[in-house]
Each structure stands twice: as structure tokens, then as C-alpha cells.
Amino acid sequence: MEVIIHEVGLRDGLQMESQQVPTITKVQWAEKLVEAGIDVIQLGSFVNPKILPQMADTDELFEEMKSKKTSNVRFSALILNEKGFERALKADADLICMGVSASETHSKKNTGMTIAEALERIINIAKEAMKLGKDIQVSVQSAFGCGYEGDIPEERVYKIVERYFAEGINKVSLADTSGYAFPTKVERMFQTLQKMNPNAEFAAHFHNTYGLGIVNSYIAMQNGVKYIETAFGGLGGCPFTKQPAGNVCTEDFVNMLQKMGLRNDINIGKIVSVTKYACGFFVKDLPGYLYKTWREQ
């Protein structure tokens, strides 16, 4: 079983925090995550800094991390539109992530567009990126439910993904933006997607609103999902959803994997050091568990 860790703490983890994190501090955290052996690190999002001030230095962060990159790590970024895409190209992001919400309410709050409008825009950007030889990942946000609308019809999610596949886009993430996912639904939906396109690569992004994030990640793995998105310390939450909650905690998830005999190449202690640094910086406990009892081996 191959499991790739996509660490999103520097983007999804920080976007909910009102206290601005200096670029140099982000660089120090990113360096530790590189040293830990994380596979993919999302350095930030190329979005309007007036809307998300915490992401205002994403261009600078990519520039700072160029010289600190190893052959085993890839740097990703999230974009919402054409301008963000241009910035991601200039920064030479290894993986460009973009997506569409399955909730009309969330879509309008997050992008100012309807689902249909956002889908056309994202597909056009994705196709242009593929023409340029860039690696991309598209997502369906609020795929398991929405804090504003409640249950999201699964068929709506499948139709969005079906459109991705029809356009030749085969790396797809289901994002549980509001934490509504539960194991049997995760299993059913990923099994359905596998049948739709056995050659696709799938990712999963779960939030821990109701404490089910790590078990949902496990079920996703068991159903062919290769990429699991997590955040150090369990930081995070979408600022454009009704009930924001943290991500699956990276070190907690890696600890589970290592108990299962997987990903022993990742240095948990390095991740814990980032979480402890973040606790001190924000002067608060974070949602993760392992760091609270961790002792250096």
C-alpha cells in the first residue's frame, strides 16, 4: 500500500489564524518538514492578500525554499483563478492544486461563482496547465457535506468528477471541507470513483470537526486513495465555511502508519518540533495528540 503525505499546514493550517506568521518563521517550519521526509508540502495559496493576508508572502516563500529543496520533496500551491495560476507558474510550483465546491453556498462564499461557473474556469486552467506540462490536482470541496447546506447529493460529486475525467484530468481529491464525512460514506464514494476510472489517482482531505478525520483517512487508504492531506498539529479550517475545524494531524497520522509498518522513513520528531514551535508562537494548544506526550527517542 503506497501512502503519500501531502502536508497542508502552511496553507490550510495557517489561513484561519489571525496572528500573522513572519516569512522567516514559515521558512523554518518548512525546512523542518523537508527534513522530516514529508512527500509534498503545500507552501501556500496564490490568492488575493486582502482576503487572506496570511497568504500574502506565498511568492516569497517559494523563492526562499528553492535552495532548501531536496530531491525527495515536492512543493505545492493552491490557486483559485487565472491570476493565481500565473503566480504558481512563476514560482515553479511542482504541483498546482485547484478545485470546485459541490455546495452552491460554499462555492459563492469561497470564489464568488456558482458551481457551474467555477467548474468551467477550473477546467480551462487545468487544461492549460497540462499543456505546459505542469502536474495538477483538482478537487471537489464540500464533497461529503456542507456546513451551510448539510447533506450534499453524492451524484452531484460524481458528475463533477466525471467532467474532470472527460477532460483528461485524472488526479482528483475529495475534500471534506466541513468535516461531514464518515467511514461508510468515504468507502462508498471512493469505490464508486474507482469504478468510474480505475486509472485515476485519488487524494483525500478530511477535517476533524466531529473527530472522524483519522479513521476516514484510514478508510480512504483502504479504498485505493494514494494521497492523504494533513496538517502539523491538526491546524486548519476553511474560513469560508460555517463550522471550520482543524485538519487531520500529520504526526498523529504518520504515527498510525508507522504502527502499521508503513512510512518508517518519516521522522515524526521533526514534525512534532514544528507543532511545538507553532504552539509557542500562537500561545495555545493545537488539536493534535502525539506532540503532547512525545519524548525524543
Q: pTM here?
A: 0.94
Residue 27's alpha-carbon distances to 31, 108, 142, 238, in angstroms, are 6, 33, 30, 22
Q: Which residues pair with 77 in a beta bridge?
A: 44, 96
Determine the pLDDT at residue 109. 75
Determine the pLDDT at residue 240. 45
Determine the pLDDT at residue 70. 86
Q: Identify which has the larger pLDDT, 188 or 68.
A: 188
d(Cα 98, Cα 172) in Å, to the nearest integer?
Answer: 10
Please give the positions annotated as active site: 238
Closest CA to 236 of 277, 286, 202, 273: 286
Determine the pLDDT at residue 146. 86
Determine the pLDDT at residue 233. 96
Length of the chain: 297
Q: State the Cα angle at 155 between 114 and 227, rounded to 5°.
A: 85
Q: Residue 243 pLDDT > 60, yes or no?
A: no
Q: Residue 286 pLDDT > 90, yes or no?
A: yes
Residue carrying C-alpha cell 483502504: 222
d(Cα 133, Cα 68) in Å, to the nearest integer?
Answer: 24
Mean pLDDT of the residues in the chain: 93
Q: How many domains does the chain have?
A: 1
Q: Residue 241 pLDDT > 50, yes or no?
A: no
pLDDT digits (tens, 9 = 90+) for 186-203: 999 999 999 999 999 999
Q: What is the full DSSP assignment across 90-122?
A: HHT-SEEEEEEES-HHHHHHHHSS-HHHHHHHH
Contact 192, 156 (CB under 8 A): no
Query: Residue 254 maps to which CATH number?
Result: 3.20.20.70
Determine the pLDDT at residue 296. 65
Q: Identify which has the larger pLDDT, 15 or 60.
A: 60
pLDDT digits (tens, 9 = 90+) for 124-181: 999 999 999 999 999 999 999 987 778 889 999 999 999 999 999 999 999 998 889 9
Determine the pLDDT at residue 270. 98
**Confidence band (pLDDT; 50, 70, 90) for 280?**
very high
By residue range, what is the domain housing residue 261?
A: 4-293
Q: What is the mean pLDDT of residues 103-120?
A: 84
Residues with Cβ < 8 Å from 235, sequence gap 6 or more?
A: 9, 12, 13, 14, 16, 17, 246, 247, 278, 286, 287
Determine the pLDDT at residue 237. 60
